[in-house]
A = this chain, B = another copy of it.
Amino acid sequence: MPSTADSGRALSGDSRLPLYQRLADLLRVEIQDGRWRPGDRAPSENELADAYEIAPGTVRQAIAMLVDEGLLERFRGRGTYVRRPRFDHSLFRFFRFRQASGESLVPEGRILRRGVQPLPSHVARALEVEEGADGIAMSRLRLLNEQPVLAEEIWLDASLFAGFLDLPVEKVGALLYPVYEATCGHLVVSADEVLTAEAASPETARLLRIEPAQPVIVIERVARGFNGVPLEWRRSRGRADQFHYRTEIR
């Protein structure tokens, strides 16, 4: 749990910046460096106001910034908490598989292959490790009602995820990130994704049970932990005819 801040500590940082900015910067570092962990309760507005000797309204403004950055969550009457990101909804915000609509199902995950190999150079770059370092490679199929919906290629830095190899693949459930946390203590807190499309390779077509050269959606993701450290590189491919992404402009 985050400790109450020192009493009377002056806010550091560039004094040309407004107070609420400097406070937000300070709290953001607490979260991103993992001293305040997801689920933890933050000090109350009044505690922070007293600790840093600023008005409660100014504290509120700082916290508001972090709330709409998605780092904190406020509950009236209960307190302010460090937000725990939920990734099972992120990717599947995009993919709406044409099943009985409405329900947001999490597809089953089936690991087809897992082993240690040198990281391909583009993955090494994304994970910010030196070329040729060992990685854990996985091939994973995700299914909904026995129908394959996504074919995934996943790479981990072997030096960070040693414990993960001890877990038999049959024990791994539908979601990987909770497993990473349980076996290796690495918590995924953010991710970058890039979406493209391509024609299915024979291999991909076989896995997804479609004709080769049919269009597939490709999503490349780098999942990151505290401080933005890259933890996992992943490329997911799904049938384009089951994909649509809706957006609203201004």
A residues whose Cβ falls under 8 Å from a Cβ of B: 68, 70, 83, 85, 87, 90, 189-199, 213-217, 240-241, 243-250
Q: How many copies does the complex hold?
A: 2
Q: Is the CB of A250 within 8 A of B199?
A: no
A72 to nearest B CB, angstroms? 11
9 interchain residue pairs of minimum CB distance: A215-B215, A197-B240, A197-B197, A195-B245, A85-B250, A70-B250, A191-B249, A196-B244, A197-B215
CA A199 to CA B247, docked complex, whole Å:
22
CA A241 to CA B189, docked complex, whole Å:
30
Q: Is the CB of B194 within 8 A of A246?
A: yes
Q: Is the CB of B240 within 8 A of A190?
A: no
CA A55 to CA B90, docked complex, whole Å:
40
A-B contact pairs, 28 of them (CB 8 A): A68-B68, A85-B250, A90-B249, A190-B248, A190-B249, A190-B250, A191-B250, A192-B246, A192-B247, A193-B248, A193-B249, A194-B244, A194-B246, A194-B247, A195-B246, A195-B247, A196-B240, A196-B244, A196-B245, A197-B215, A197-B216, A197-B217, A197-B243, A198-B241, A199-B213, A199-B214, A199-B215, A215-B240
Contact of A249 among B85, B199, B215 (CB under 8 A): B85
**B-chain residues with CB within 8 Å of residue A213 when the two chains form the complex:** 199, 213
- Closest partner residue, chain B, to A241 (CB atom): B198
CA A68 to CA B250, docked complex, whole Å:
10
- Closest partner residue, chain B, to A192 (CB atom): B248
**B-chain residues with CB within 8 Å of residue A194 when the two chains form the complex:** 244-247
Contact of A193 among B70, B197, B247 (CB under 8 A): B247
